[in-house]
Amino acid sequence: MSEPADTPLVPPSSVVLVSGGSRGLGLAIVTDLLDAGVRVAAFARTITPELEKLAAEHPDRVHVGSVDVTDLRAAQSFVREVEQRLGPIDGIVNNAAMGQDSLHAHTATDDIARIIETNLTAPLQLTRLVIRRMLAKGLRGRIVNITSICGQRGFPGLVAYSATKGGMDAATRSLARELGGRMLVNSVAPGFFASEMSAVLGPTQLDQIVRRTPTGHLTEPEEVTPVVRMLLREHTNINGQVIVVDGAAAI
- The total of other beta-carbon atoms located within 10 Å of residue 14's CB is 17
Q: Which one among 4, 37, 84, 106 touches another protein, defined by CB under 8 A?
A: 106
Q: Is 161 a catalytic residue?
A: yes
Q: Pick the piece of the chain touching another protein (CB under 8 A) from 47-55, 103-111, 143-151, 207-215.
A: 103-111
Q: Least distance (Å) from another protein to the CB of residue 102? A: 5
State yes or no: residue 102 binds another protein (CB under 8 A): yes
State yes or no: residue 202 binds another protein (CB under 8 A): yes
Q: Give the up-direction half-sphere exposure of residue 37: CA atoms within 13 A in the CB hemisphere.
A: 2
Q: Pick the piece of the chain touching another protein (CB under 8 A) from 39-47, 78-86, 104-112, 141-149.
A: 104-112
State which residue, 14 or 107, has the beta carbon closest to another protein. Answer: 107
Q: Dihedral angle at the C-alpha atoms of 123, 101, 225, 237, nearest 10 degrees? A: -50
Q: What is the CA radius of gyration of the chain?
A: 18
Beta partners for 17?
Answer: 41, 92
Separation between Cα atoms, residue 86 and residue 15, nearest integer Å: 7
- CA 228 to chain centroid: 9
State which residue, 112 or 135, has the beta carbon closest to another protein. Answer: 112
User: Which positions touch another protein (CB under 8 A)?
Assistant: 101-103, 105-108, 111, 156-157, 200, 202, 204
**Positions marked active-site:** 161
